[in-house]
Structure formats: structure tokens, C-alpha cells
Chain A
Amino acid sequence: MDGGGRGMPRHAILLPRRLRAPGRDAVRLRHDLEKDLHDGAAAGMSALALELGLISMEAADPGIGERIDAAQGILRRVLDDLRGIGTALYPPVLVSGGLGPALCALAENRNLRLRLDLPRHEFDTETRSRIGLLVADHLYTLGAGSSVRVRVRGRRFVRVHISDDQPGRIRPRRHRAVLRCG
């Protein structure tokens, strides 16, 4: 749905669409799943890559060495996939870096042009996570090369405005969400 459907009144096209922020339970679940992925599957795969490196040292047969290199290549691709899933579940920079760095990192990874307008005050961890995941989930819907503006305001009632301009679209789309926090 791009808001440009036939038969839709013009004012409906121009009104911002409403986005829904994930609730507390969803935030906690996504955080825990990313942690499990990082500490479990990803850590195990990285350890396996080291083990293959050790076996490669002892392999006298060049053919075996090549097969080990190929296996390490597969492992690296699997780890790349896991990184992608982990970042979509809960951007890793959101915990340590906060809202701005996490969204900038995501925009960078997805080749988006991001303009951020955040309030000067800090949000508590839970609010930061809910806003971060709301915006991150939207960034995942955009194609590479899109330009996106994000504006966040308020404390108890946080208002999030997003406008995006995707290559090939006639006009920018606008979205908004209101989160009740605290």
C-alpha cells in the first residue's frame, strides 16, 4: 500500500499514516532473542571458524585445505545472515550507543540517507527501545537509496514523525506515531 490508490480521496493521500510502536513485552522478547542469537548460534559459528582455521594449519593435502577454505566461506555467509537477523530483531548499537547512533548505523547498513531530529533530553531505556524499534522497522521497509527524515518530540507522550522519499515514487510518504511512555 503506497497511499496512491485509485478512488481514494486526495486528503486521504496526503494524511500521514499511523505507525504502531512495539509494546514492552515485544521489546523484551526481541532483545532476548537477539542476545540468544549472539551468545548462542553466532558465538558457536565463530568458534567453529577458528576450529577450521586450526585444522587447516595441520592439513598437508592442498585439496583438503581448499575444502576447509570453502567451508569457512560458507560459515562467513551464514554469520552474515545471522547478523542481519540479529540487527532486525534488535539493533546492537541501541543498547550501548542510544537512539541516534543505532538509527544511523541501520541507515548506513541499508544504504539510506537519514536525517534525524531528536530531542536534546535522554529517554529512559524502555522508551528508547520502543522508539528505536518503531523507526528501525520502518527503515526496513525502504529500498536502498531512499531518503528519510525522522523527527521525535515529547516526553510522556512521544510523537514520532517519519517522511520517506523512495527512488521511483512520485511524492514522499509521511508517517506518524504517538507513544505513551513512563
Chain B
Amino acid sequence: MRVAIAEDGALFREGLVLLLEAAGHEVVGCVADGDALLAIAATEALDVAVLDIRMPPEPDGGLVTAERIRALSPDTGLLLLSHYAETHYLMRVLEIGAERIGYRLKEQIAGVQVLADTLNRIAAGEIVIEPVLAKRLVQAPGGDGDNLVSSLTERELDVLRLMAEGRANNGIARELFLSTKAVEKHIAAIFGKLDLPGNQTLHHRRVLAVLAYLRARRVDG
């Protein structure tokens, strides 16, 4: 893959270049701010742009730049990295796009396999959501009268968590050592129990429906 990076921390930036190259990717650009990355995206064909959320232009230059790159080159995948896993950032990431996009914690992509998996899923059109955040959303207690999530079986909770990570059916099947048919059955049961609307067959709509549900049951105001 042809990848470009924008990250204002020199040590992390250099380490990421080495890891990407070791994984067999071509790093066509490596800069310290969003505007410089945008200039690269305007002239180079990129498979994925990797951006630190908190970099110049301050305060969240990564999000602003990702939005501009998506407008300039909709086929370029976007991977946003952060020190913090916050649903506020996740929602802003999903406003930029619900396909070919990811949000991960920096230290969680510090291995060739996990980095390759993240980039491959983004290039394949998926949404990739930090598992720590997906787990927190699923495990969080709901509000008054919210017994719907607690009505799910343990296996259905696993499937719900992986859906909240943005995993497609075959990815969920691989993670849980299930057949895709079994995954489909669990998903249908989850949608039924949670009374979720929408077409389950459209991957990104399904992820958005799950995330919207998990957020809405928690905080009022």
C-alpha cells in the first residue's frame, strides 16, 4: 500500500515509518502537520493516510485534515490515531465518513500484524474502531429501564462488541471461531432484541446503528 503519515511527534513518526516499511508498505510522505499532508494528498495517489488527531493546525488538526482529504480524494483510506479513546472523537471521525476510515489508540497499532489488519480493513472499505472504546460502550451500564443489552446472551454480547469495532461478518466469524451463518443468526437476534432499525446487510449502516444505540442509552442532555 502507498501510505502517508502526519504526526507531530518525531519519535512516533519515525517509528511508524519503520514499522510500515517493515510490513511491506511504501511510505510516500511523512510530515509533522495536517497542511503538509494535504499537499501530499493533492499530488500523490494514496491508499491510506495516517493522521494524529491532536496536531497542528491546533487543536485537532488531524480531524480537520482528514475531512479535507476525504473531500479531495474520497477513495483514500483514513486512519486517525490518538492517545485518547473518546466517543466524542469517534463521532467526529464518523461524521467525516463511514467507510474506509479508522480510529485507533497509538500504542495499540504497535505491531506489524495489528497494523496490517487495521490498514487492510480500511482499504477494504470498513470502519475500524478502537476495540477498547467498543468494549467500553458495550459494557457500560444503561439508563433507567434499559435492560435490553442485559437481555443478550454472552455470545451475542461478543458479537455486539465486534460489530461496534466495525468488524464485518467474516471478521466476526474468524474472531469467534464461528461460521458466518451462525454470526448472521446472532446479529439477527441482537437487532431483534435491541429493536434496532435499518438494513443489517449494509455494513457501515449496521455499525452506525449499533454505535448510535450504545451511546443513546447512556447520557441525557
Contact = CB atoms under 8 A, between A and B. Distances in A.
A-B complex is real = yes
B182 interface: no
Interface of B: 9, 11-12, 14-16, 18-19, 22, 54, 59-60, 83-89, 105-108, 110-112, 115, 136, 140-141, 143, 218-221
A52 B110 contact: yes
Interface residues of A, number: 46
B88 to A, nearest CB: 5
Given A51-B15, A76-B107, A96 B143 contact: no
A39 B84 contact: no
Interface string A78-96: 0100010011000011011
Given A87-B84, A104-B221, 10 more contacts: A45-B107, A46-B12, A46-B106, A51-B15, A83-B83, A96-B60, A101-B88, A104-B219, A105-B86, A114-B219
Given A93-B88, A97-B88, A104-B219, A113 B143 contact: yes
Interface string A50-73: 111110110000000000000010
Contact of B87 (A46, A87, A105): A105
A70 to B, nearest CB: 13
Contacts of B140: 108, 111
B86 to A, nearest CB: 5
A43 interface: yes
A136 interface: no
A119 interface: no
Contacts of B111: 53, 56, 72
Contacts of B16: 50
B53 to A, nearest CB: 9
A38 B87 contact: no
B219 A50 contact: no
A113 to B, nearest CB: 6
B108 A76 contact: yes
What 9 pairs across the A-B complex have the smallest Cβ distances? A116-B221, A50-B15, A47-B11, A49-B110, A46-B106, A53-B110, A49-B107, A43-B9, A47-B12
